[in-house]
Structure 1
Amino acid sequence: MHPHLIRRWLREDWLLVLLLALLPVLLVMVPVAPTRLAALVDWKTIAALAGLMVLSRGLEVSGLVDRAGRALIIRLRTERRLAAALVVFAALLSAVVTNDVALFVTVPLTLGLARATALPVGRLVIFQALAVNAGSAASPAGNPQNLFLWQVSGAGFGEFLLAMLPLAVAMLAILLALVPLGFSARPVTVSRTDSPLPLQQALGTVSLVAYPVFLGLVNAGFAVAAAVVLLGLFALAFRQVLRGLDWPLLLIFVLMFVDLGLLAHLPAIATAVPAALELPGGAYMLGAVLSQIMSNVPAAIFLAPFTDDWRALAWGVSVGGFGLAIGSLANLIALRLARQKGLWIRFHLWSLPMLALAFAAGALLRAS
């Protein structure tokens, strides 16, 4: 392989590379028979994630979401209203089609609008990244950590949704309250945007109809069978959707389960984590803190075996998506899509206060 391609792979799939590199080290420290490694993986979560990736990609490729976003945004008249609309649109979209897919829709849409009128693109992308972290927290299917915790908790879809909704609403309200600080009320005129994606009605209809059916089957405990049927359907009718999927992401999650499962078996870890969970704040505090170190998805997978309080853990890792950019993979996706110089520093000027405000709001809600 050419050195340039190797460097690009290391830069773009650094998490996959890190997990692969850690695996042999952990296997030396925690000897486990190869046949037992598969048992460390929550295959229901992997299957549910695969199915949601297919359906989210189907909605994206169909052009339905793109046209809905354009229809909403084109009617706005001020920079502040545009920012608020993008925040709400990204948050609601992330609760349905996952946070990363929402960014793949809204960030290119924002870049297209910026080619038609002067906009603070970097700040808009930052607020969209924060918005998908807030909005996706509401739904069991909104982000990978919720999907995992929903599966291991045994809670129903509605039960999980109701447990997460107060925090998600509070975080979104805080973010909307910050919009007037970040955006002016100056008028904007969008004279032209990039051409919308071609509308594929059949793909959009199938994806929309299959979405609630798939979630219902996952909720009923048939995640693996439902994912197999869904993949077969799309392989026959919409093969282009499967070709565009982020397949390495599934491998990343399999490796996360294996690596973090092995890590949890280390004697020092097995002693330290339960002790940390007894500290004030418990799983809520530890989930938020560990998210700043290892990102919120690995933090959820790592801590889940140590606590039965899935609600506190889900709240903690949701809040932990703010703060440092590594707190959520959605942050990294947004910054990478924008490709603006100095955006990493500007991101933290908003995300760190958001972490403090969201954590305080969550603590007050938990105490009430």
Structure 2
Amino acid sequence: MGDAKPSSGASSSWIQKLQAEWLLLLFATLTIALALLDPQPLAKYQYWLQLPTLAGLMGLLIAIQGIRDSGLVQHAAVAVVARAHSLRSLGLLLVSATALLSMVLTNDVSLFLIVPLTLAIGGISNLPVLRMVVLEALAVNAGSTLSPIGNPQNLLLWQHSSMPFLHFVLAMLPTAAVMFALVATFTWLWLPRDRIELTPDKIDGHVTSNRLGAWSTVALVGMVLLMEYHQAPLGAVLLLVLFALLARSSLARIDWLLLLTFAAIFLGLGHFAELSLVRDALDRLDFSRPLTLYASGILASQLISNVPATVLLLDRTPDAIALAVAVNVGGFGVAIGSLANLIALRLAKQPHGLRMLHLVSIPFLLVCAPLVYLVWLWLG
């Protein structure tokens, strides 16, 4: 009888953990169900798993955890807050920085840098953290739209079309401009007018470890460069070994379940997108019609995320820019529309984050989609 309570407590703890990882459970179930109903060769699963992408995420997680543990993020938070006078101006600064970084460092890298900074700022001030993270998720989708290297779908379409870099940027400029204007306007309207209020007893500008901060920053830069040259697995292994030798405690604090969640998403959605039922339905659509392609790209992004949607529609349309516009707009809406949304929420770990994102991002899509389409047709 005396052993019943600890056992019950342990079971309750596991149930709570599983409830928190509902996204992992959902896509793991989808993956297993599709594997049983529609078995495929091992090579297919290896392709869907996108190991280079997972390796890149792992390397970024390791490097950013080192920077967090060094205290550099907290130090930077104090410096940023000192240069802003109101919550609105601080919000616009963070949103603009997120969008600009996503153009050159890709959408996920910019979130790995900005979200921890936002959390640190929220810890010393009255900044509404969850609102800010949702805005940053919108901003990273808007900013990365402009650049051929801003996100995976743009990189894929740019390489597939063999289009000059500047040509791609100029073609995507109207779409990105409309998106960012909407994000900036919403930031100004949604954040409180209040001045920034600091909590002095929570301010600690002292850097815990200059050495950890320095080589973690070097590791981050190195990881981004290796990802650019398609050597993400090598970078991830090097960082894993480096931190295992020099900062093992940082490895223990990494969100490893995030990697498992993305693996399950890649496998489940990759398999789903290649089902004959899905492909037969697409074969009935006329993608030479702009509105059909635009609506299909957005809807597919809502169902299977914008990167798998790009792969699914890539060979069905000769117009890479039209598809790029559609799948980038499709990054708004439901959280799965862009994996960057899930990264932002997971890094923030704020209560009711998913609900808040949907309350904002779905209406945002409903406003953004027709505006972008009208501007695109007008300028095209």
Q: TM-score, normalised by structure 2?
A: 0.75
Give, in whole Å, the separation in 2 of the partners of 1:121 and 1:40: 34
Q: Give me the identity figure in percent.
A: 32
Equivalent residue in structure 1 for 2:227, among 212, 218, 236? 218
Give, in whole Å, the separation in 1 of the partners of 2:157 and 2:82: 42
Equivalent residue in structure 1 for 2:76, among 55, 60, 68? 68
Aligned position for 2:299: 289
Residue pair 1:294, 1:327 contacting (<8 A) in 2 also: yes
- Distance change in 2, residues 1:22/1:356 (3 Å): closer
Aligned position for 2:266: 257
* Alpha-carbon offset, residue 325 of structure 1: 4.6
For structure 1, list consecutive stretches of 5 or more residues without a partner in the other structure: none
Letter in 1 for 2:302: Q
Aligned position for 1:150: 155
Larger radius of gyration: 2
Give, in whole Å, the separation in 2 of the partners of 1:170 and 1:84: 16
- Distance change in 2, residues 1:297/1:106 (3 Å): farther
2:83 corresponds to 1:78: no
Equivalent residue in structure 2 for 1:12, among 9, 15, 20? 20
* Alpha-carbon offset, residue 105 of structure 1: 1.4
Give, in whole Å, the separation in 2 of the partners of 1:36 and 1:325: 26
Q: Size of the alignment, in residue pairs?
A: 359
Q: CA RMSD in A?
A: 3.9
Residue pair 2:115, 2:133 contacting (<8 A) in 1 also: no
Q: Where do 1:124-143 residues align within 5 Å?
A: 124-137=132-145
Aligned position for 2:351: 339
Q: Secondary structure at the match of 1:98?
A: helix
Q: Secondary structure at the match of 2:365?
A: helix
Give, in whole Å, the separation in 1 of the partners of 2:21 and 2:138: 22
* Alpha-carbon offset, residue 139 of structure 1: 6.4
Residue pair 1:138, 1:165 contacting (<8 A) in 2 also: yes
For structure 2, list consecutive stretches of 5 or more residues without a partner in the other structure: 1-6
Residue pair 2:60, 2:112 contacting (<8 A) in 1 also: no
Aligned position for 1:3: 11
- Distance change in 2, residues 1:182/1:104 (3 Å): closer
Aligned position for 1:236: 245
Letter in 2 for 1:220: Y
Letter in 2 for 1:54: I
* Alpha-carbon offset, residue 40 of structure 1: 3.4
* Alpha-carbon offset, residue 26 of structure 1: 0.8
Q: Secondary structure at the match of 2:290?
A: coil
Q: TM-score, normalised by structure 1?
A: 0.77
2:43 corresponds to 1:38: no
Residue pair 1:94, 1:136 contacting (<8 A) in 2 also: yes
Which deviates more, 229-238 or 123-132?
Answer: 123-132
- Distance change in 2, residues 1:285/1:212 (3 Å): farther
Aligned position for 1:319: 329
- Distance change in 2, residues 1:169/1:210 (3 Å): farther
Residue pair 2:75, 2:204 contacting (<8 A) in 1 also: no
* Alpha-carbon offset, residue 17 of structure 1: 0.6
2:236 corresponds to 1:227: yes
Q: Secondary structure at the match of 2:331?
A: coil
Aligned position for 1:203: 212
Residue pair 2:68, 2:116 contacting (<8 A) in 1 also: yes
Aligned position for 2:109: 98
Give, in whole Å, the separation in 2 of the partners of 1:13 and 1:346: 18
